[in-house]
Amino acid sequence: MKEIQKFWQARNWMKSNESFLTTWHAHVGYKLDLFDSFAGGEKVQEVAEKEELNGQLLLRWVEVGLEVGHLKKTLTGKIKPKQKMLKYVSAKSKDSVGILLREMMELHIPTLMQYPDLMQKNEQISYLEDKFANVVAETSALLEKASVPPMMKWVGKYKPNHIVDLGCGYGGYLKKIRETNDSVTLTGVEISEEVAKEAQEKVKDDGITIVHDDLRNYIDKGEKVDMVMLHNLLYYYHPDERETLFLDVANLLNEKGTITVISPLTEAKHGQTFAAAFNTFMSAHENLYPLPSEKEIEEYAKKAGLKVKMSKPIIKEGGWYLIGLEKK
C-alpha cells in the first residue's frame, strides 16, 4: 500500500508540472518570436534555417507546443500557432501579455530556485534594477489597464491642477489623464535613465514633463502639487523608511491634496497566494522589501495627516489594491 501511495504522490507531482511546461513554452515562443515565425504555416526545418536556430531543439519546442495546445499541425505537416498565441503572446501584438512571462521566467523563478542556497548561506542577492527596468516598466503598463478606470474617477472627483507620478515608468497614467484633461500640469519622475527617455518619447506630444531623477531628490525640492501617485513603489522602501516617505510626500500636497497608492497587499481579502509568492521573491533580495498590509498603510497615512478615502482591489488574483488618501 505504501508503494502505491508513493507512486501516486510522484504521479501527482509530475502532473502539477504540466502548467509550468505551458508557461515555459509560451515564454520561449515570445522571446524568440516563434509564434510569428510559424504564423503562415511552416515546416520546422525551414524555420530553423531561416531564423538560424538549432533544428533539433526547435523540433522539441514544437512537439511540446502541440501537446499543450499552443500549436497545431496542418494536413500537409506544417506547423501553425493557435490564434490566441498570436494575439496574446506574440511580441508584435498590441494585446500581448508576453512580458509577464519574461518577468516570471527570467526574474521571479530563477530567484526562487536560489532559495536553498540562500537559506543555507544566510545570504541575499541584489536586485539588478538597471537590467530589468524596462521589463518592470512594461509589466506595470499592463497593470494600468485594470487601474486606469478607478484612477480616472479619482482624478475626476478631486480635479487636481498639478499631478506628479513618482516612479512613472512609461508615463501611462499621465497619458490617460491628458486624454480627458488638457489643462492639468502633469509630471513624471523616473529613476531609470533608459525608461525615462522612453517615457519622454511616448508622451512628447502630450505636454507631459518626464524628469529623470531619484524620488528622494525630487521630493527634497519641495514643489507643491495637488496629487501624487505612488504606484508599485513601496517594496523598494524598507518598512522603517515608509513612514518618512508618507510624511515627506504629504508635505508636497496643497490643502485637500491626495495620494494614490497601488501595491499588492498582505493580509488582504484577495490574492494572498500571489502576495505570498511575491513576498518570497522580495525577501531574497537585499534591496527589495516585504509588501505592506492595508493596516500598515493606514498607520503611515494617519501619522502623515492623511485619511484613507478609498481601498479597492484592482486585480483580485494578484492581491493588487488601489488606495486613495486625502490630506486632512
Give me the residues paired with residue 35 across strands: none
Q: How many CA atoms lie within 13 A of 243 on its CB side?
A: 7
Poorest-confidence range of 161-170, 198-207, 284-293? 198-207
Question: Is the predicted pLDDT of residue 287 greater than 80, yes or no?
Answer: yes
Residue 138 in contact with residue 167, Cβ under 8 Å? no
What pLDDT shows up at residue 237? 94
The boundaries of every CATH 1.10.10.10 domain in the chain are 2-91
| Cell matching residue 279 | 513576498
Give me the residues paired with residue 258 across strands: 227, 326
Confidence of residue 81 (pLDDT cuts 50, 70, 90): very high
SS3 at position 228: strand
Check if CATH label 1.10.10.10 holds for domain 2-91.
yes
Give me the residues paired with residue 272 across strands: none
Question: Is the predicted pLDDT of residue 129 greater than 80, yes or no?
Answer: no
Q: For residues 301 and 323, give the distance between their C-alpha atoms in angstroms, rounded to a whole number.
A: 11
CA angle in degrees (0–180, nearest 5) for 139-145-148: 120
Q: For the segment 167-196, what is each residue's pLDDT rounded down to a tens digit?
A: 999 999 999 999 999 999 999 999 999 999
Question: Is the predicted pLDDT of residue 142 greater than 90, yes or no?
Answer: no
Secondary structure (DSSP) of 20-61: HHHHHHHHHHHHTTHHHHTTT-B-HHHHHHHHT--HHHHHHH
Q: For the segment 65-80, what is each residue's pLDDT rounded down to a tens digit?
A: 999 999 999 999 999 9
Mean pLDDT score, 293-309: 96
SS3 at position 81: strand
Classify domain 129-327 at the CATH topology level: Rossmann fold (3.40.50)
SS3 at position 122: coil
What pLDDT shows up at residue 2? 72
Residue 201 in contact with residue 252, Cβ under 8 Å? no
CA angle in degrees (0–180, nearest 5) for 67-68-74: 55
Nearest to residue 164, comparing CAs of 251, 256, 232, 253? 253
Question: Is the predicted pLDDT of residue 109 greater than 90, yes or no?
Answer: yes
Long-range own/partner contacts, residues 270-273 (CB < 8 A, 24 or more apart):
270/313, 270/316, 270/317, 270/319, 271/313, 271/315, 271/316, 271/317, 271/318, 271/319, 271/320, 272/319
The boundaries of every CATH 3.40.50.150 domain in the chain are 129-327
Q: For residues 37 and 1, give the distance between their C-alpha atoms in angstroms, rounded to a whole number.
A: 50
